[in-house]
């Protein structure tokens, strides 16, 4: 076989693909591993979404290509959602672009804007695809430290001028994976001013905007002053509507940036299956807020169950106001050792914080995306293991 490309050789393997391989090997040995490491919603989408898909699939007119910009009806539904949810007006023809899952758009946006010598500003502790996109494009990543003492918000004021002048994009994500941190509109106003001043595209990845607890309402970066002049936001159906496997999302905001993204996408993919767009419209237009609230109440209950158990399993964490995650660290041993022993001795998989950047090194991410029974089982196994390993005697 020929040599693989330098582009790929320079890319670290995707952490969750590696751990998935290890899980399969352990399962083949007959071990039952409870997975608290992945943020994969365990509950189904709203029933009307599934019904719409089933009806649409049976329609013989829905099986052809649906266009590089998806269907107008889908784009209009996304625009209606932004107006209803955030009071933000979007032109469905120029300010909404469907994606095959937001991850696809995130990586392609970097390919659309970055070359060798360019800089992507990426929070250290963030979803890996922001840095991956920059690396695939041959660009450099400038890491913005995000630390607990600053609520996991990057300090924009300390970015050196020569870095700001070479940077083309800035990534943020609140409610945040993996830390659970949140941001208010004042933060986005500040980012918008910084990006407009330095001619930087602000990229707000917002998949957890509707996964929030305790009365907290997350906002859109597009609600900031002058946001559309420099901002694109990534919308995902994966977590909002429990549709992770359906691969549906959208990029919304600055029209020029969306045209550029479309230039990449129209050369790479040919849009989604129309039935998926139809189901997406049903999700956006006909999912009552009560469905979202009830789903979030299940996650909140699981979050609280984990938080209550933490002292008995040697972990500490803050209470997150959103996302599927608890960002914890071990109190008695190094977090890496904790994760390894939890997997091999308690048969519970946890995500290492360093998968999200160097700043995450001493942290462990736990997910609430597992059924109540499996969560109880995982916490029980962790308690027995931790008690016998570290607390007996
Ligand atoms: C912060 C963040 N962005 C993007 C994604 C990708 O979502 P999608 O399923 O829409 O590709 C995820 C998935 O976990 C995520 O946590």
207, 208, 323, 369, best to mutate for ligand 1 pocket (most atoms within 8 Å of CB) = 207
User: Pairing relation of β-strands 231-236 and 119-124?
Assistant: unpaired
Q: Per CATH, is 6-45+290-391 categorized as 3.90.1150.10? A: yes
Rg from Cα positions in the chain: 21
Is residue 238 in contact with ligand 1, taking CB distance under 6 Å? yes
In the chain, CATH 3.90.1150.10 sits at 6-45+290-391
Q: Which two tokens stand for residue 1?
A: 């076989």
Is residue 205 in contact with ligand 1, taking CB distance under 6 Å? yes
- The pLDDT, as a whole number, for residue 392 is 63
- The pLDDT, as a whole number, for residue 10 is 80
Say which residue the tokens 């050196």 belong to: 160
User: Pairing relation of β-strands 96-99 and 249-253?
Assistant: antiparallel
Q: Per CATH, is 47-288 categorized as 3.40.640.10? A: yes
Low-confidence stretches of the chain (pLDDT beneath 70): 392-393
Other C-beta atoms lying within 10 Å of the C-beta of residue 72: 13
Q: Which two tokens stand for residue 359?
A: 């700043």
Alpha helices in the chain (DSSP H): 6-9, 15-28, 47-57, 72-86, 102-113, 129-136, 161-166, 185-198, 237-240, 255-268, 274-286, 289-309, 335-345, 372-386
Q: How far apart, in whole angstroms, are the C-alpha atoms of residue 8 and residue 388?
A: 44
99, 209, 237, 238, best to mutate for ligand 1 pocket (most atoms within 8 Å of CB) = 238
- The pLDDT, as a whole number, for residue 14 is 76
pLDDT tens digits, 320-373: 999 999 999 999 999 989 999 999 999 999 999 999 999 999 999 999 999 999
15, 37, 101, 103, best to mutate for ligand 1 pocket (most atoms within 8 Å of CB) = 103
Task: Report the separation in Å between the CA atom of 104 and the middle of ligand 1, taken as the mean of its atom positions.
Answer: 9
Q: What is the residue with the minimal CA distance to atom 5 of ligand 1? A: 103
In the chain, CATH 3.40.640.10 sits at 47-288
Q: How far apart, in whole angstroms, are the C-alpha atoms of residue 136 and residue 151?
A: 30
């Amino acid at each position: 076989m020929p040599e693989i490309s330098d582009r790929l050789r320079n890319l670290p393997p995707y952490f969750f693909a590696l751990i998935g391989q290890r899980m399969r090997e352990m399962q083949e040995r007959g071990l039952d591993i409870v997975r608290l490491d992945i943020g994969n919603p365990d509950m189904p989408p709203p029933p009307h979404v599934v019904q719409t898909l089933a009806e649409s699939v049976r329609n013989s007119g829905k099986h052809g290509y649906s266009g590089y910009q998806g269907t107008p009806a889908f784009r209009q539904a996304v625009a209606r959602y932004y107006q209803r949810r955030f009071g933000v007006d979007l032109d469905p023809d120029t300010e909404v672009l469907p994606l095959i899952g937001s991850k696809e758009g995130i990586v392609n946006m970097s390919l659309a804007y970055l070359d060798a010598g360019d800089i992507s500003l990426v929070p250290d502790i963030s979803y890996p695809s922001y840095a991956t996109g920059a690396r695939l494009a041959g660009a450099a990543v400038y890491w913005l430290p995000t630390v607990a003492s600053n609520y996991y918000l990057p300090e924009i004021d300390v970015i050196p001028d020569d870095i700001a002048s070479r940077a083309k994009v800035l990534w943020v994500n609140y409610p945040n994976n993996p830390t659970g941190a949140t941001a208010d509109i004042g933060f986005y106003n500040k980012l918008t001013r910084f990006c407009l001043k330095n001619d930087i595209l602000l990229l707000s990845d917002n998949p957890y905007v509707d996964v929030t607890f305790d009365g907290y309402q997350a906002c859109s970066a597009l609600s900031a002053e002058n946001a559309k002049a420099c901002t694109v936001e990534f919308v995902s159906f994966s977590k909002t509507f429990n549709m992770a496997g359906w691969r549906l999302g959208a990029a919304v905001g600055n029209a020029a940036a969306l045209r550029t993204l479309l230039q990449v996408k129209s050369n790479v993919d040919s849009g989604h299956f129309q039935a998926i767009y139809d189901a997406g419209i049903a999700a956006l237009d006909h999912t009552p807020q009560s469905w979202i609230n009830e789903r979030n109440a299940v996650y909140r209950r699981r979050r609280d169950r984990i938080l209550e158990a933490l002292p008995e399993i040697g972990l500490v964490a803050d209470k997150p106001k959103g996302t599927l995650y608890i960002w914890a660290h071990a109190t008695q041993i190094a977090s890496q050792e904790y994760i390894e022993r939890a997997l091999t001795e308690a048969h519970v998989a946890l995500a290492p914080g360093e998968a999200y950047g160097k700043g995450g090194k001493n942290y462990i991410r736990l997910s609430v995306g597992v059924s109540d029974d499996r969560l109880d089982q995982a916490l029980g196994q962790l308690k027995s293991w931790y008690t016998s390993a570290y607390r007996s005697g």
